[in-house]
A and B are shown apart, each in its own frame.
Chain A
Amino acid sequence: MLKRKILSTLFFACLAAAAIPALAHACAVCLTGDGDATADAFNWSVLFLMATPYTVVGSIAGWLVYKYRRAALRREQEAAANPMVRLAWNQEESGR
């Protein structure tokens, strides 16, 4: 019974908050409407901050890919420059 009262109170509180958003203060920039300078400023700021982590992580990942590809290319060039036969078993044994 008590649980039902709590639930119904919460339901009506939510309903009131949805019906009178100005009292709820749910969102600092939701009530300003389109074309408002403050809302636009927050929107641009949010977009910028949203894009930054992707840029940072993408830069690190791109750098790693670049380094791996360059290392592979360098290995190929070294192999082409050095005509000595590479023995796989020898390389594994020596660890080089």
Chain B
Amino acid sequence: MAQSLTAKRLDEPLAELNLKRREFGGGEPPVRSNTPVGANAWLAVWMFLGAEAMFFAGLIGAFIVFRLSAASWPPPFQPRLPVGVTGVNTLILLLSAVTMRRSIASVRAADSAGAVQLLGATAILGTLFLAVQGYEWVQLIQFGLTVSSSVYGGLFYTLIGFHALHVFGALICLLVVFARARKGRYTAERHVGLQICAMYWTFVVALWPVLYGLVYLY
């Protein structure tokens, strides 16, 4: 039976339908449970981001305790935070996440030049965010808000400072990826380094609106 059907298939192309049957070796391809669907580095970065999220959760937890137990917030005789400028700065950082995601789309579409441009734009937006934050800090210190001035100042500089430190770290990572992208190291098929950098950048950007809402608006 099998031999006759195989012979038939050699003679008649239409008989390939028979070969789709399992007894002729056809059917669905075998499922390999050990086949990874993504790079191992992605999972490692997810673990790292989970630890980072817990770190910031601890800081936010401390902020909640002091914020909710305070009779008045901000405390009297302490400078108010610049909500408007930081709001614009928030939009700048959110825009940087958009350019970062689009750079990945460009790499996937084999548009290396476009990806390099978008990575450069992301780096510029990130640097602009840090520059505005630094300017704000200088202003606040001049107005008397320091780490040791009150719990308010201590919480502000700890939460926002650690975030700024993370943005700085992500920016260094981004500049390395940018340099590698300029050398053409990322292809449509293989661009794990860029994806990892984008994951970290997205985390840092996604965290900021939470901190902004909590520290500046609430």
What is the interface of chain A, defined by CB distance below 8 A to chain B?
37-38, 40-42, 44-46, 48-49, 52-53, 55-57, 59-60, 63-64, 67-68, 70-71, 75, 79, 85-92
Contacts and interface: CB of A to CB of B under 8 A. Distances in A.
B128 to A, nearest CB: 29
Given A37-B69, A92-B30, A68 B37 contact: yes
A32 B26 CA distance: 72
A52 B29 contact: no
Which range contains the number of B residues in contact with the other chain? 20 to 34
Given A37-B68, A48-B57, A63 B46 contact: yes
A87 B69 contact: no
Contact of A88 (B25, B50, B64): B25
A71 B29 CA distance: 14
20 contacts: A38-B69, A41-B66, A41-B68, A42-B65, A45-B65, A45-B68, A48-B57, A48-B60, A56-B53, A57-B50, A60-B46, A60-B50, A64-B43, A75-B29, A85-B16, A85-B26, A86-B27, A86-B28, A88-B26, A90-B25
Given A49-B57, A88-B26, A44 B68 contact: yes
Interface of B: 16, 19-20, 22, 25-30, 37-38, 43, 46-47, 50, 53-54, 57-58, 60-62, 64-71
B53 A86 contact: no
The interface residues of chain A, by DSSP majority, are classed as: helix
In this complex, the member of B27, B29, B67 whose beta carbon has the largest number of chain A beta carbons within 10 angstroms is B29
A89 B19 CA distance: 12
A86 B134 CA distance: 60
Given A53-B54, A86-B28, 4 more contacts: A55-B53, A57-B50, A60-B47, A70-B37
